[in-house]
Amino acid sequence: MKKTRRRYDRDFKISVLSELEAGKPLAQIAREYGIHPSLPCRWKAELAENPEKAFRGNGNKYKD
């Protein structure tokens, strides 16, 4: 059985990072959204490195 790689759009990544910046624990964010705890850290580094080019691509909208 092949696993499909999930993709997240720019708005989803920004909203996750804003929750992280607001002081919400990383573990709680990861549980709520079903993502690996390393993803927000990676997204934060990508945004800090080059904010204008961060999160380009054709990610999919997050579905609840």
Which of 8, 37, 34, 1 has the alpha carbon at shortest distance from 20? 37
Which of 9, 18, 5, 13 has the alpha carbon at shortest distance from 39? 13
Confidence (pLDDT) at 39: 93
pLDDT tens-digit readout, 5-54: 788 888 899 999 999 999 999 999 999 999 999 999 999 999 898 888 88
Q: Is the pLDDT of residue 56 over 60?
A: yes
Which of 63, 62, 57 has the alpha carbon at shortest distance from 8? 62
The pTM score is 0.77
- Fill in the amino acid letter for 51: P
